[in-house]
Structure 1
């Protein structure tokens, strides 16, 4: 899933059993697993000025970066951290780490060639799913469409539980941008082909 989608979906899932005060922690936890990827991309693109193809075909697969990505996407590490935070009475930390777990569970079924090592450090196993959230060769067009619908439904479910107008605005913006991005990437090329 795309990173902003994780935040909206996690808010909807957690809204069933958490207080609105936990919303920021849930959103942070939903975004946190992808932090090493964003930092790497910023460094590679804007400091090293590498071309996109080299960033994703070579740089992204360097062992050092892959270990950080695996650590931040590790289900057992996040579960352990959530248990530890809960036993220490750190509610914010508990929701951050639980949200990280749900991020990784959301990634498991929709990563093909770019699957993460979700059981690191106990295993280097990667679940190579037959579907991808982005790759058209692995049903990416369909999965991305389902993701857009999930984001819209999750926005409707979690919207009442978000107290701040800024938070509500961000949610609506993410839902709108997800639909625009889907149209631009997947639907627009097909529409133009069928129009001529």
Structure 2
């Protein structure tokens, strides 16, 4: 899934009030944050071409080692356990949203997956499905994800009346639709 979809789905699943909404959004973005930071640094500071970033650096041991930490079922599960133990709605929403994010990534990354069981294992699951690669059913997965995202936006609109939230969810939905369209056109 694309990051906007992760944010929307996490918010719909765990953002029941203002506090848990912000926590769910944080958990929805954190597993992708290192990727954005690394790409920004490589692209704009180091001036490395896109082709090197996404064909070499992305798959390098250094980058994959970072991704293993912020995409670890083990670590996110521990945070969820702590949230439940402390009866912290915000921490539970944060961890739950992060787990939904990495769970969907686990199922929808073919040859670009992560070591989701770090630190116990560096094994990477190669799903037969991909959200972006048409060689692995993205032409079916993409519309399903768009529908799920749309349903989640409707849920969020009904749950949260303030127009600021509604505009934010609509903007995320438009980013998701545009990104899915781009994946179909380019891959």
TM-score with structure 2 setting the length: 0.90
Q: How many Å apart are 1:148 and its aligned residue?
A: 1.3
Q: How many Å apart are 1:166 and its aligned residue?
A: 1.7
Matches within 5 A, 1:27-176: 27-176=25-174
Contact 1:12 1:154 in 2 (8 A): yes
Compared with structure 1, are the counterparts of its residues 57 and 154 closer, same or farther at alpha carbon in structure 2 (3 Å cutoff)? Answer: same
Q: Distance between the aligned counterparts of 1:68 and 1:94, measured in 2?
A: 23
Q: Distance between the aligned counterparts of 2:163 and 2:77, measured in 1?
A: 32
Q: Distance between the aligned counterparts of 1:21 and 1:164, measured in 2?
A: 15
Structure 2 unmatched runs, 5+: none
Deviations 1:153-186 (A, max 9, x none): 1111222222432221011112123223434542
Please say which structure displays the higher CA radius of gyration.
Answer: 1
Give runs of ≥4 in structure 1 deviating > 3 Å. Answer: 18-21, 88-91, 180-185
Structure 1 unmatched runs, 5+: 190-196
Match of 2:3 in 1: 3
Contact 1:111 1:132 in 2 (8 A): yes
Where relative contact order (Cα < 8 A, 6+ residues apart) is larger, the structure is: 2
Q: How many Å apart are 1:7 and its aligned residue?
A: 1.1
